[in-house]
Amino acid sequence: MQKLSAIITKEDDWFVALCPELDIASQGRTQEEALSNLREAVGLYLEDEDASIPEVPPVITTFEVSCAKASNPHS
């Protein structure tokens, strides 16, 4: 078993799940469905004998940025 990351976002009526280690994404109507579809897509990808998982995973962090539009109540 290999533990990987999933980033889930909402885009319109769909949830999009991204595995940043492999740059593979999938979608679903619910978060659970998107994650299940991502798990299936990653499994299929890893069946390829040339597929590999990076030894050093990507760094996922947060940062702040000033946004004039968000702070301007007249926009």
**pLDDT value of position 12:** 96
Q: Please say whether the beta carbons of 42 and 35 come within 8 A.
A: no
Q: What is the pTM of this model?
A: 0.77
Its CATH architecture, for the domain 7-71, is 2-Layer Sandwich (3.30)
Asked whether residue 28 carries a pLDDT value surpassing 70, the answer given is yes
Pairwise CA distance, residues 2 & 53, whole Å: 9
Q: Please say whether the beta carbons of 7 and 22 come within 8 A.
A: no
Of 24 and 56, the one with more pLDDT: 24
Of 1 and 21, the one with more pLDDT: 21
Rounded to 5 degrees, what angle do the CA atoms 14, 20, 26 make?
30
